[in-house]
Amino acid sequence: MTETTIPTIPAGYKQDAKGRLVPEGQIKPVDLMRDQLVHDIADGAKNLSAILATFKRIVMV
């Protein structure tokens, strides 16, 4: 079995689409805001998914 490790991103950096580390100071504020929005939406979707999974387990009993 192949073990996959998730790389850690140092504080003050973001990873770009090609996997390169970019200092946050070199990223436009609007792009940082977009990134935060995407993360917030994804977190909300994960929470909703967990809620729905719990609901399904309760209802399908």
Number of domains in the chain: 1
Three-class DSSP category at 14: strand
User: Scanning the structure block, which residue is given the tokens 């909300």?
Assistant: 44
Answer yes or no: is 42 within a domain: yes
Residues 6+ apart with CB under 8 A from 27: 14
Q: Residue 38: how many CB atoms within 10 A of its CB? A: 10
Q: What's the CA dihedral at 5, 46, 36, 20 to 10 degrees?
A: 20
Nearest to 27 by CA among 16, 40, 19, 11: 16
pLDDT at 9: 92
pLDDT digits (tens, 9 = 90+) for 6-34: 779 999 999 999 999 999 999 999 999 99
Domain that holds residue 48: 34-61
Residue 47 belongs to some domain of the structure: yes
pTM value is 0.71
